[in-house]
Amino acid sequence: MLQNHKVKDIYLGKDNAWLSGIPGTKDPVLAPADCKDELVELRALCEKLLEETGREEYTVRCRDVAYRASVLKSINEVIFVLRRIPAKIPTPEDLSIHPAYVEMLMRPGMTGLFVVAGPFGQGKTTSVASLMAARLIKFGGVGVTVEDPPEMPLEGQHGEGVCYQTAVEDGKFLEACRKTARFAPTIIFIGEIRDADTAVEALRASINGSLVMCTVHADSVSMAIERLYSLANAAIGSPDDTSSTLANGLLAVMHQRLEGEPRKPKLEFLWLGDQDAQGIRNTIRQRRFEQVGSEVQLQRNRLMVRPRPTSDGQDHRVPMRG
């Protein structure tokens, strides 16, 4: 059965299937014979949903396992690229997110824009979902997601909080974000900021009293901020207004890349949630994005030497990974 194999992605063709991300192997490997019947069933479900919806990204469930499906059209056939969706939301501790970062992101009453950046397939959505669920469990409130398609099992109750997942139709993120903001939820989770209008709506919600969580494809913290600026400015059209809104709305940026086996995140982190963040906000306001990296390193150095009291009354320093 597929559940018995640790696999990152499945490339499901008409006559064969390849598995990638299996520990100890070179990518890809042919799917083993004991998965054949399940893969045939899974392919049939994918074909049915493609025909019924016309969408090229959607969630499919087979034998109590959910997958995110994307359609890849080669010159010979249609390939369904599948990524397994976890059965439950992992905790930040499960994901090895550094305790200092978790501590900051779990403060009560937070508002603003929290961005998780990184390349494709590096666990960005998993990290956002984990932190969103943790905040709902700790503080209660209402979370609403705007996703294309929904990837993590966030729907339902989390402690005294509750989350409602919504699926964007035909890539209409702008309309979905505006509608979600009118509901005034405690947390808004935007699956990915990929266009100008969505970037603007995320920023507007972040300066209007909501905690907005999102993902962005970028190779560093500074590049994530610059990308958000470029996207939003395409809609706003005024560099000064755009950079000012971004500087005012941004709460934190976390860049992650998975490394090692088992894969754990190597993190860069920028925090703007304290009083002394005015300097970095001015840097963003002045569009000196290349200087953000220095602030990331400075904050990291401070955390490396900061004592962390524990229950035994001693000061302990938790090493920063990467």
Model confidence pLDDT, tens digit, residues 217-273: 999 999 999 999 999 999 999 999 999 999 999 999 999 998 877 778 899 999 999
Are the C-beta atoms of residues 213 and 128 closer than 8 Å to each other?
Answer: yes
Look at the domain 99-305 and name its fold: Rossmann fold (3.40.50)
pTM (two decimals): 0.85
The pair of three-digit structure tokens given for residue 18, joined into one six-digit string: 């390849």
- Does pLDDT of 309 surpass 70? no
pLDDT category of residue 151 using cuts at 50, 70 and 90: confident
**Predicted confidence band at 307 (pLDDT cuts at 50, 70, 90)?**
low
CATH number of 2-84: 3.30.450
Q: How many CB atoms lie within 10 A of CB 9?
A: 19
Q: What span, in angstroms and rounded, lies between the C-alpha atoms of 62 and 48?
A: 13
Q: How far is CA 165 from CA 46, 96, 256, 283, in A?
A: 21, 25, 24, 35
Cα torsion 169, 171, 175, 177: sign:
positive
117 pLDDT more than 80: yes
List CB contacts of 105: < 8 A, sequence separation 6 or more.
114, 131, 135, 252
pLDDT on residue 110? 96
From residue 101, alpha-carbon distances to 25, 213, 271 in Å are: 33, 15, 9
Query: Which pLDDT does position 96 carry in this prediction?
Result: 93
Q: Positive or negative CA dihedral for 193, 233, 254, 223? A: positive
pLDDT at 322 over 50: no
Q: What is the overall mean pLDDT for the chain? A: 90
54 vs 44, which has greater pLDDT? 44
pLDDT band at 311 (very low <50, low <70, confident <90, very high): very low
Task: Determine the average pLDDT of the residues in 116-130.
Answer: 94
Q: Which of 210, 190, 116 is nearest to 150 (CA)?
A: 190
Kindly list the domain boundaries of the chain, sorted by start residue.
Answer: 2-84, 99-305
Contact criterion met (CB below 8 Å) for 88 and 124: no
Per-residue model confidence (pLDDT) at position 315: 46
State yes or no: cis peptide before 262, omega within 30 of 0: yes
CA distance 178 to 79: 34
